[in-house]
Amino acid sequence: MMEKHRTSIEFPADLWEELKRRVPPRKRTAFIIDAIKEKLIRSSMKCLILCGGPGVGMGPLTKSIPKPMMPVGYKPILEHLILKLKRQGIYNFILAIGHLGEHIIRYFGDGSSLGVRIDYSIERTPLGTAGAIRNAERKLDSTFLVIYGDILFNDDLNIDKVIEFHRGRDAVATMVLAKVEDASRFGLVSIDNEGRVIAFREKPRQAVPGLVNAGIYVFDSRVLDYIPSSTPSCLEEDVFPILAEHGKLYAYVYKGYWVDIGAPEDYEQACRDFFDGVLS
């Protein structure tokens, strides 16, 4: 059951008189609510969600729809992500689309049905995870979020704390690391006591626990200096190693629920977790 909270808003006397003069009483509440929503949208941080990949590991399921549009429970993965972030005060989204991107545009439109604002950055050819950021640079602010469109996590990942962590270290980039019991499918990330990324390690040959890249980032606009403008490029291979070498890449450790939907068994697990209540 959703909790309800009562709150109050204090208007300057002259503004309240002007509001009463211009807006009929029966429309006043709706007017105020719409004004607050618009203010939240204008002031919230922008989040770029990468949705352009072909989803090769999920074939043949992704031959007809983009992987972020695959349903978990009653909503597409992408809708789960947007609503989770909205609950944490993120209202501005840019969806980087490529493969079958028209399905995403048709479903979400401008985002108004979800109470958010959605813009699109279209990739005519595959650009890679870093190239997608460069392609959207005119739509981005000085600090922004980037999230992969095929991951899911729980609401206990506090985005405000990740942003605060990032800003407190003058980082060019901060990646969220997920703690997993079996890191054999992922490369491991090593950090020092300050949270600075100091090494990337190859996938372990055996199932061992470790910290892995969760596909959730906070970036400073300076990251664009590390992304080539004319060729496709990858965050993990082309950008992060250089940032780490310069001491400008940090990591925030998240120990809650996280799943990377990279293979059919991951998708099946996410669906089970949703219906079992593990995934909130």
Among 252, 249, 246, 255, residue whose Cα is nearest residue 235: 249
User: Phi/psi at 130 (nearest 5 deg)?
Assistant: -80, -40
d(CA 215, CA 260): 8
The label of the residue with tokens 């503004």 reads: 15
Question: 75: which strand partners?
Answer: 72
Q: Confirm if 270 and 72 have CB atoms less than 8 A apart.
A: yes
To the query of whether residue 46 is one of the catalytic residues in this protein, the response is: no
Q: Confirm if 140 and 46 have CB atoms less than 8 A apart.
A: yes
CB atoms within 10 A of CB 163: 16
Given 20, 63, 203, 255, which residue is catalytic?
A: 203
User: Phi/psi at 215 (nearest 5 deg)?
Assistant: 75, 30
Active site residues: 203
